[in-house]
Amino acid sequence: MKYLYTACLYFIFLGNAVAQENPAYKIFNKSGNETDFGEMVSAAVSSDVILFGELHNNAVSHWLQYEVTNAVIQQKGQKVILGAEMFESDNQLMIDEFLSGLISERSFETQMRMWKNYKTDYKPLMLLAKDNQLKFVASNIPRRYASFVFNHGLDSLSVLSDQAKVYIAPLPIEYTMETPGYDSILVMDTHGRGDSIRMVESQASKDITMAYFILQNLVPDATFIHYNGDYHSRIYGGIYYYLKKSKPDLSILTIASEENEDTSLPQDAKGSADFVIVIPKSFTKTY
């Protein structure tokens, strides 16, 4: 028994040592200095809007979304609003009905257009909103309209019905190539058809619509936590750019997620957000 106890202690010690040598993540501030979860939460609580840029299939990124959200709720109570790219604006009614208890969880999950990783990655956030009686905003443009823009250009949205236009930012949607990140899309002509401009326009229709619905749902003294793909707020572009364009005095915190061979900060990630979470590429993926 003595030897078994000693062996158990050895393996516990070894496991802790390995964990110390191979942490699941590290957090860096805008200056590129290592910081911690507490500092990130302190900055989050004092912000009007948090843009949490995620890696869609990264388990650590999603876990930290939950932990940050829960920590902010613990400090601000019901003065928190949640919102996400992963839910399209024409599904807002169904989200409201689920959160209010009008429809069952089963009905909600079978009738909503869900991302394939909803149950593992976004359901915990939705239930956090339900348990704390918080609003959850479906902020993204319906994908059929983003696809329409890609195929026909932004101006084509003018043919939509008045009812359809309720689900997007007010027309005309005006974007600028000064938005950080859009220049990189121009070189992503993956189909060889010269469609990179329409790729930018489709991206802009998403960014501007998400910014619009965030602004529409802001409440004084509350913090709006928005979950989106890292690209939509990286280097202070995308959603961040259009929020600031509409409301320059808005206090916005950006969080970026980055994968690397280890947890060191890649040089090109320095300054890409107020806080950058670096996660080893080897970490478990959710899909």
Q: What is the architecture of the domain spanning 24-280?
A: 3-Layer(aba) Sandwich (3.40)
Cα Rg of the chain (Å, integer): 21
| Residue boundaries of the structural domains of the chain | 24-280
CA 138, CA 72: separation in Å to the nearest integer?
A: 20
Residues of the chain with confidence (pLDDT) below 70 = 1-21, 187-194
pTM: 0.91
Residue 6's pLDDT is 40
Residue 195's pLDDT is 75
CA 147, CA 4: separation in Å to the nearest integer?
A: 62
CA 103, CA 111: separation in Å to the nearest integer?
A: 11
Residue 187's pLDDT is 67
Residue 196's pLDDT is 83
